Amino acid sequence: EIVDITEMVDHVMNRFEMLIHSTEYKGKDYQINKMLIEEAIFVEVDPDRMIQVLDNIMNNAIKYSPDGGTITGRMEKRADRVIISITDEGMGIPKADLYKIFSRFYRVDRARSRAMGGSGLGLAISKEVVEQHGGRIWAESTEGKGTTFYLSLPYVPFEEEDEWV
Ligand code: ATP
Ligand code: MG
C-alpha cells in the first residue's frame, strides 16, 4: 500500500501529544516537538506495521525519559530516501549496548527495565519491519542526555505524473 509517511508521522505524534496531556501523565513534563516536512512523501509500506514501529519508538522515548523532557520528531528528504528521527532527552543508552538493543529480548539494565515493563521485543520487531520495507533503523545516544532513533525508507518518486501535464 502506498501511504504518505509525513502524514503518518504527524498522526502518530499527535496521538502521543494527546496521550501525554491525559490524566495518566499529568504532572510529568513532556513536550512533543514536530519538525516535519511540508510535503507529502509516499512510501510503499504495510501501514499497520509501520505505525507499530513508530508507536514503539515514541513509547520508548517516553518510557525511558522518566523525568520528562522534549521529544522531537524530524524528517529529512534525501535523493531517494526519507529519514525520520525521534529524539528524546531521557536516560540514554550506553555505547556498548547500542548495537544490542535491536536483538530479541535485549534490555539495558534488567533491574531498571523490569520496573518499566515491556518484553524487549519492540525494537527487534521494528528492525524486521523496517528492513522488510527496504529501510534501515539505527540509534545514536549519550548516556544521561538522550537518544535519537533514525529510520530511513525509500520513497516513491511519482515522476510519471509529469507525462500527463
Ligand atoms: P517492548 O518494546 O517489547 O515493550 P522494551 O521497550 O524494553 O519492551 P525495546 O523497545 O526492544 O524493548 O527496547 C529494548 C531496550 O532498549 C529497552 O529495554 C531499553 O533498555 C533500551 N531503549 C530503547 N529505547 C530507548 C530510549 N529511547 N532511551 C533509552 N533506552 C532505550
Ligand atoms: Mg519498546
Tell me the pLDDT tens digit for each residue of 100-144: 999 988 888 765 666 677 788 899 999 999 999 999 999 999 999
CB of residue 120 inside a 6 A radius of ligand 1: yes
Q: Residue 11: pLDDT band by 50, 70, 90 thresholds?
A: very high
Q: Higher model confidence: residue 50 or residue 119?
A: 50
What are the distances in angstroms from CA 138 to CA 57, 85, 111, 126?
11, 10, 24, 11
Q: Residue 22: pLDDT band by 50, 70, 90 thresholds?
A: confident
Contact 135, 114 (CB under 8 A): no
Residue 131 in grid coordinates: 528492513
Q: Is the ipTM of this complex over 0.95?
A: yes
Residue 42 in grid coordinates: 509516499
pTM: 0.93
* Ligand 1 centre distance from Cα of residue 47 (Å): 22
CB of residue 75 inside a 6 A radius of ligand 1: no
CB of residue 101 inside a 6 A radius of ligand 1: yes
CA neighbor of 142 nearest in space, from 61, 68, 88: 88
What is the spatial distance between Cα 155 and Cα 88, in angstroms, rounded to a whole number? 26
Q: Higher model confidence: residue 108 or residue 51?
A: 51
**In the chain, pLDDT over 70 holds for what percent of residues?**
91
Residue listed under C-alpha cell 535491536:
102
Amino acid found at 16? F
Average pLDDT taken over every residue of the chain: 91
